[in-house]
Amino acid sequence: MAIFKHTRSTDGKRREVVRLGHPVLRQKALEVPEERFGTRFLRDLGRDLTRTMYEDNGMGLAAPQIAVALRAFVYFVPGDGDEDEVPPQVVVNPRLTLEGEADALGWEGCLSLPGLRGIVPRHPRLVCEGLDVDGAPLRIEAEGLHARVIQHEVDHLDGIVFVDRMQDLSTLMYEEEWDRFADHKHLPVET
Ligand SMILES: [Zn+2]
């Protein structure tokens, strides 16, 4: 089920999204070395991540999900109700400063675990520092859904998927059942 449709186009290539079981999803991804910034390689990686996120109607996508074991991801937050829209942003070599307890509950899904949803506890706020594909520094203050998406993506860089973070596996369900039976207060984050 697509949660929403992206309308903006992008010039990257759509890449295959690997699924749970592919070993790259369980590796710790490597820092992108300094000499890669501003290169065609890293710009293409950012564009391909963005294009693939659009095509698969995700809210984010990490490089390991397209079988590239580097610390880079793209995300965006759709403007919706309480949430301000955050335009697509590629973040490389992120470092998180987590704020508050990891007790904010929300639904998540993952393009690498297609069809599944579950309730995941996350920190309510964070600061994410990193670089863009050209090496310019980024400092992102995030809360709510925005903070959730970033925590989900950075977990992918450490070989962690959302089910690892679930405290109550009884909330794990398939999308169709989620549509029928779940409490829909919160938009699921599917990244
Ligand atoms: Zn994911």
What is the H or E stretch that residue 153 is in? Answer: helix 145-157
Identity (one letter) of the amino acid at 5? K
CB 34 within 8 A of CB 79: no
Q: What is the DSSP letter of 188?
A: P
**Is the pTM for the entire model greater than 0.85?**
yes
Interval 154-165: pLDDT, tens = 999 999 999 999
Mark whether 153 is an active-site residue. Answer: yes
Interval 137-186: pLDDT, tens = 999 999 999 999 999 999 999 999 999 999 999 999 999 999 888 876 65
Neighbour tally for 4: CB within 10 Å: 11
CA 22 – CA 73 distance, rounded (Å) = 18
Measure 161 CA to ligand 1 centroid, in angstroms: 6
Residues contacting residue 83 through CB under 8 Å, at least 6 positions apart: 77, 144, 145, 146, 187
Measure 119 CA to ligand 1 centroid, in angstroms: 14
Domains of the chain: 23-190 (3.90.45.10)
CA 186 – CA 51 distance, rounded (Å) = 25
The whole-number pLDDT of residue 5 equals 53
The whole-number pLDDT of residue 2 equals 37
Interval 13-37: pLDDT, tens = 999 999 999 999 999 999 999 999 9
**Which residue is catalytic, options 99, 153, 175, 177?**
153
